[in-house]
Amino acid sequence: MTQDFQPVAGGITAPRGFVAAGIHAGLKKEKLDLALIVSEVPATAAAVYTRNRVKAAPLRVTAEHLKAGLARAIVANSGYANACTGERGYRDAREMAVVTAGAVGCEPWQVVVASTGVIGVPLPMDKVTAGIQAAASRLAVEGGRDAAAAIMTTDTRIKEIAIQLPLGGETVTIAGIAKGSGMIHPNMGTMLCFLTTDAAIEQEDLEQALRVVVDRTFNMVTVDGDTSTNDMAVILANGCAGNAPLTIEEHAAFRSGLEYVCRYLARLIARDGEGASKLITVEVYGAASEVEARQVARSVAGSNLVKSAIFGADANWGRIICAAGYSGAEIDPDKIDIYLESHAGREQMAAGGEPLPFSEAKAAAILAEEDITIILDLNRGRAAATAWGCDLTYDYVKINASYRT
């Protein structure tokens, strides 16, 4: 489990040496739709991308740029995904980098490019270009929250956090913003996430930390079973904290802080799932390995039948053990204990894979809460994992029945 940290104000620009802006470029009718995040000095960079074989043009351009392991700026638009737009889409993504580089004073290969929105529609580059230039003129330490708002699509709330911790003799800050509400499912990225830190850290260590943390956080979130074409998580570390080289223990502390930030954002994404009324946390204990625990947790969190039962406040634990059974993990169904928990209390539903007499009234009270935890003890070992999801409501269908129009 990660260490507990106290969040600090400032969001994505809380780390030293970062500025940001979010503006309305006209890509959406009214809301902010173009974000710019800039490090005042070159930053070590790492990223993790969607495993969907259909990859949007911005993602391809970003992957090319980050081969050098350095970046200065992140430009991201919402409203248009620039996915499945052919050679024009690729040229447009590269042009976003060129325009951004000119506006902030860096090289095009130092620019991370991201887009989110409707697939299969070309970018209106006149608006994008003007928007980038306008955003560059408004860059400020105070611009982080607008940047977080500008990457939202069907999100109903801004997702941002910053924390601090002592490293290498200095106070280091780690921050992040994310967007994600629909098309959320494991196999990274599940959403867009931009992370910043003023820590001085080697690129190889930064990339390793990001990959480990993503597997434990964003790859444990599921809303609807769809893995998008544009998903990525990117981290920039500009070294402005001036910390000494990290020891082995301090690398572990950095990773713990990064995991806290990503876990916080992952929970916000699950809670903000399209049409969701409840956050579902699935905790798996007693697994033979962490891989096994993750398999079971993700399977239960992703089950449409489980999600529907939670929406209806139906304590149908049979759906939970069923989802664990088809997870692919080599579990023993005759050893599984199942519990439901929320602020209203805790109730055990099954022991050793068999039903227990339980209070329907108490179970209903537990399931009436907005934050519900499903607990499975596999009784096979000591490994554990947590996954997050949300209930499946009528509103999910309504939102996605008219997303493009």
Which are the catalytic amino acids? 190
* SS3 (DSSP) at 27: coil
* SS3 (DSSP) at 398: helix
How big is the chain, counted in residues?
405
Q: What angle do CA 312, 270, 16 make, to 5 degrees?
A: 160
Under the phi-then-psi rule, with left for phi > 0, alpha for psi from -120 to 50, and beta for the rest, what region is 9? beta
And the tokens for 172?
Answer: 């280091």
**Cβ contact 222:100 at 8 Å:** no
For residue 106, report the phi and psi dihedrals to the nearest 5 degrees: -140, -175
Q: Among candidates 356, 329, 342, 345, which has minimal Cα distance to 391? A: 342
And the tokens for 23?
Answer: 């503006």
- Residue the block writes with tokens 């993503």: 214
Burial string for 151-163 (b: 16+ CB within 10 Å, else e) reads bbbbbeebbbbbb
**What secondary structure does DSSP assign to 295-342, as a single string?**
HHHHHHHH-HHHHHHHHTT---HHHHHHHHHTSS----GGG-EEEEEE
Terminal-to-terminal C-alpha distance of the chain: 43
C-alpha separations of 353 from 148, 297, 318, 361 in Å: 45, 17, 9, 22
Strands 383-390 and 337-342: unpaired
**Cβ contact 403:154 at 8 Å:** yes
